[in-house]
Structure 1
């Protein structure tokens, strides 16, 4: 389980240690990534530098859709972590256009099954006995096929069923050789992360190598089924007092690192709206219960299910529970945990958002680590206030009715403000972002009119009431701190005046001089770059060779202007 706020120690396999049989896979991933990086460099950095930002902006969505269309078949063909990468991107409705996420949406459940004979051999090696001795029956047709393993329905032998307390099971068996494939994919992703770390536009917002390291830790946990079994048991303990939430029990007698045997809890898939209605279950009630369950995990429990896509959540009819159903979670290979301090910051963010408090949201962003301390946030606060006044409290259905011109006007007014701020993705936020994105998508599919504000407001109210109880203690502590500062102020002021009188105040301007020198060199490089590329374009019509030479010669100059750092 990955705890948010703790740096991962997982290290991807270096390229030199990639399995020789998988070198072709490694090269294919790197070729695709290189093509995308070069295209992005040209459109997002070079063209804006020569005054063609409008062209880059106008073609951005079309280019991103093209990248997604090329990545989709590559991920399906390669499988492994490439499908996981596509799944993560398909859930990022917050940063990617819907046209792009739609291209990747099929990757949520798309993975070709492995032949049963191969699965049988892998399972028998792991269990140490033939399948006929391990199970009374095992269906050779897979119940589901995922990127790292596949599941088959089965029945435990009588002696094992008596110990476990159940007989019907789902047996999850790891794909043969998936550990070597994971190592290869992580090696490629690590190299891509190191490249991105050298791009200032990316590095000032996210620590790409740390993000890859977190993804590596999560992926290695996913292929360790003993880890998943322990997470399933912990989830059951955390939700034991909530009658509307459940999960499968583990048959430990037949569980190994690559074979996981769980109680069969299959029911109605949470995204199957017709089946829900046929069972007399209100889909909007399911959406609210699902959002509440996920919020409980993040803001109250700490450990949370980080992969709650529709294939991992069932709705089980249950007349003894409020609403007539309970939510059954499966697949605990991807679990996260929010640390105590981060939970306090997230609670403050929820209170600020529900209260439509722009300044409070900015403070929460700082505390969580999404904004650097040096960021000038006056304009961001103004943008958030305007956002809350115009769109705050709207559900997805209401937002769809808003005139698109209003969104364009808002983006035009505040887009540059947001883009220029030093936002960054904190380490170990991957799981939390994935869980929130998937939850939002599932709830919107169940009920287009679902309003996430309504689900969050009870939390904000409860959090504010709990915080009010400690307000007096907080005020007393702050008063003591202020009194201490005031008591030391006269002495420190006297020391400062004495220093000024004696002429001992020193101001270090060396860093400023270096920055000015670096800026001057980059400005000169930009001028030369613009002259070369524009001159090449003009000359090209009359002298193609000279024009091409001038434009090619502009590339290293442009690279220096964009990426040069003082040595």
Structure 2
């Protein structure tokens, strides 16, 4: 798919970068192991992955636009990418140089259909924030709009000029690269790259549609309309389009500014507690979650009198609702199945639940995962949340690293909703730990998890009962089935299908022959190189003839 003409150079640069990385992937991960140099592949893998991530980091900063979002998206894909890549990209910040006010003004006037001086009484030419997709300016409503809305000071979020074309160009390049990856078995057996790109495309297109963000903000506000802990900005719909968003100015103390909180007489530890409660309420009560709760999107607003968080004199104020996570019924059912499997310490059931949610691709060989889960249950299964928090961190980290290696070896791909939920919980945990070093996300989640289990307790008991009946039925019929097998053996009527075994033996023999050919190639090549000086003719002949075993090692035995 070609790119839009003004952005052809950008398109080609993204494609060229991806092509270079794929050539390197082919050389190290496919070619070298075929010629017996897998040690080189293993020895250099960590460094290669880190350099790849660093090069992409530089590319994303230089190109800006959607590529910064790509890096942030990839940094959260712990399910499909090694930590060497995700760790490097985790530091990619959504900060870019500001667009000139003249360009912002021209776009806003084209969208609103009136001069900016008529739409607003005043607009600050210095941006409050500049990001890869949009830019925010403080403003004041005109007297007429202020009378209608009851608002004075507002913030105006304006899309970066030309961002639609840049997003379209970047998505076209990403879809092209995903098509390449689909043809590489090493990648396609572990991750559905086209599906990943489409998930990312959907999220990105929603994020640059400010009508969608405004609707999200109102839905979020409705969910917490009667909750004194939470505040949200009011939308000024008369000044909202797909590219311009106007809402009340709710700027206050950033949630991670401990010094400012203490100066306002607010205890950061209490803020951490309430923030965790509010985030888990979104997950378990409303099924609609703010998926980007970083410090720039959460304020602590001092207040007085009633209508504050538990009478503490402050409220949490959420902004930026472009990235939200839904918890649909299908996901809730999958989570229920997960709870049933965990309650029964059923490794096979847990794998089945992961497949039900859509976390495992159909090509997954789940035997190793079942073994790892069995070990997990054996070591930590009998512990409550409080006990888990007391486990030696080194032991927990070592087990997590080993378990993570097993998970990354599988074609595991988290659905977008699950990924956004994990992102929200991860950011919540990090934020709360910064406010309160003694904060434990397990303790914060325990009441909500217990409530979910109580709500589903009837279904859990019924399902466990059904499984027990199935097990009893199999046990009851087992002696008769064994007797039938023995009778068949006595009568000589038992047959065995050995075709699969024979095919596997053929494959093993083919691999053995190709390995011998690879050794012959290496010996003849090295011998020829050594004889080039004393016996040039013989040395050259050996090096030329070595091509025959090389070709057999690479392509021999294929069907």
- Maintained 8 Å contact 2:79/2:414: no
TM-score (norm 1): 0.79
Secondary structure of residue in 2 paired with 1:107: coil
Alignment: residue pair count: 546
Q: Deviations over 1:21-44 (max 9, x none)?
A: 211111211222223333344444
Q: Distance in 1 between the 2:299 and 2:545 partners?
A: 62
Listed as ranges, the matches of 1:29-178 within 5 Å are: 29-47=14-32, 56-91=41-76, 103-178=88-163
User: Aligned-pair distance for 1:354?
Assistant: 9.6
In structure 2, the residue matched to 1:9 is: none
User: Aligned-pair distance for 1:506?
Assistant: 11
- Maintained 8 Å contact 1:88/1:434: no
Q: Deviations over 1:86-106 (max 9, x none)?
A: 222444578778775564445
In structure 2, the residue matched to 1:375 is: 366
In structure 2, the residue matched to 1:458 is: 447
In structure 2, the residue matched to 1:184 is: 169
Q: Structure 1 pair 560/233, CA: closer, same or farther in 2 (3 Å)?
A: farther
- Maintained 8 Å contact 1:83/1:147: yes
Q: Distance in 1 between the 2:549 and 2:415 partners?
A: 36
User: Aligned-pair distance for 1:169?
Assistant: 0.9
Q: Structure 1 pair 439/130, CA: closer, same or farther in 2 (3 Å)?
A: same
Stretch of structure 1 that moved more, 36-45 or 390-399: 390-399
In structure 2, the residue matched to 1:385 is: 377
Structure exhibiting the larger radius of gyration computed from Cα positions:
2
Q: Structure 1 pair 37/274, CA: closer, same or farther in 2 (3 Å)?
A: farther
In structure 2, the residue matched to 1:425 is: 414
- The root-mean-square deviation of aligned C-alpha atoms, in Å, is 4.8
Secondary structure of residue in 2 paired with 1:155: strand
Q: Distance in 2 between the 1:431 and 1:334 partners?
A: 8
In structure 1, the residue matched to 2:200 is: 215
In structure 2, the residue matched to 1:281 is: 266
Matched, 1:239 2:227: no
In structure 2, the residue matched to 1:333 is: 322
Q: Deviations over 1:211-246 (max 9, x none)?
A: 101111111111211111111111111222332223
Secondary structure of residue in 2 paired with 1:22: helix
In structure 2, the residue matched to 1:10 is: none
Q: Distance in 2 between the 1:534 and 1:438 partners?
A: 55
Q: Distance in 2 between the 1:552 and 1:336 partners?
A: 56
Q: Structure 1 pair 251/328, CA: closer, same or farther in 2 (3 Å)?
A: same
Matched, 1:198 2:183: yes
Q: Structure 1 pair 512/438, CA: closer, same or farther in 2 (3 Å)?
A: farther
User: Aligned-pair distance for 1:430?
Assistant: 4.3
Q: Distance in 2 between the 1:91 and 1:422 partners?
A: 16
Stretch of structure 1 that moved more, 306-315 or 552-561: 552-561
Q: Distance in 1 between the 2:548 and 2:120 partners?
A: 68
User: Aligned-pair distance for 1:460?
Assistant: 1.9
Q: Deviations over 1:475-515 (max 9, x none)?
A: 788899999999xx9xxxxxx9xxx9xx9999998888777
- Maintained 8 Å contact 1:518/1:565: no
Listed as ranges, the matches of 1:455-534 within 5 Å are: 455-470=444-459, 528=517, 532=521
User: Aligned-pair distance for 1:527?
Assistant: 5.5
Q: Structure 1 pair 179/238, CA: closer, same or farther in 2 (3 Å)?
A: same
Q: Distance in 2 between the 1:483 and 1:387 partners?
A: 28
Secondary structure of residue in 2 paired with 1:114: coil
Q: Relative contact order: is structure 1 or structure 2 higher (C-alpha 8 Å, sep ≥ 6)? A: 1
Q: Distance in 2 between the 1:349 and 1:556 partners?
A: 50
Matched, 1:321 2:309: yes
Q: Structure 1 pair 482/397, CA: closer, same or farther in 2 (3 Å)?
A: closer
Secondary structure of residue in 2 paired with 1:333: coil
- Maintained 8 Å contact 1:91/1:438: no
Unaligned runs of 5+ in 1: 1-14, 490-495
Q: Distance in 2 between the 1:369 and 1:192 partners?
A: 23
Q: Distance in 2 between the 1:115 and 1:357 partners?
A: 59
Listed as ranges, the matches of 1:244-259 within 5 Å are: 244-259=229-244
Q: Structure 1 pair 278/203, CA: closer, same or farther in 2 (3 Å)?
A: farther
- Maintained 8 Å contact 1:80/1:182: yes
Q: Distance in 1 between the 2:543 and 2:403 partners?
A: 39
Q: Deviations over 1:442-494 (max 9, x none)?
A: 334334443221122112211222222455666788899999999xx9xxxxx
Q: Distance in 2 between the 1:338 and 1:270 partners?
A: 26
Listed as ranges, the matches of 1:336-415 within 5 Å are: 336-347=325-336, 349=338, 361-371=350-360, 375-376=366-367, 377-385=369-377, 388=380, 402-403=393-394, 410=399
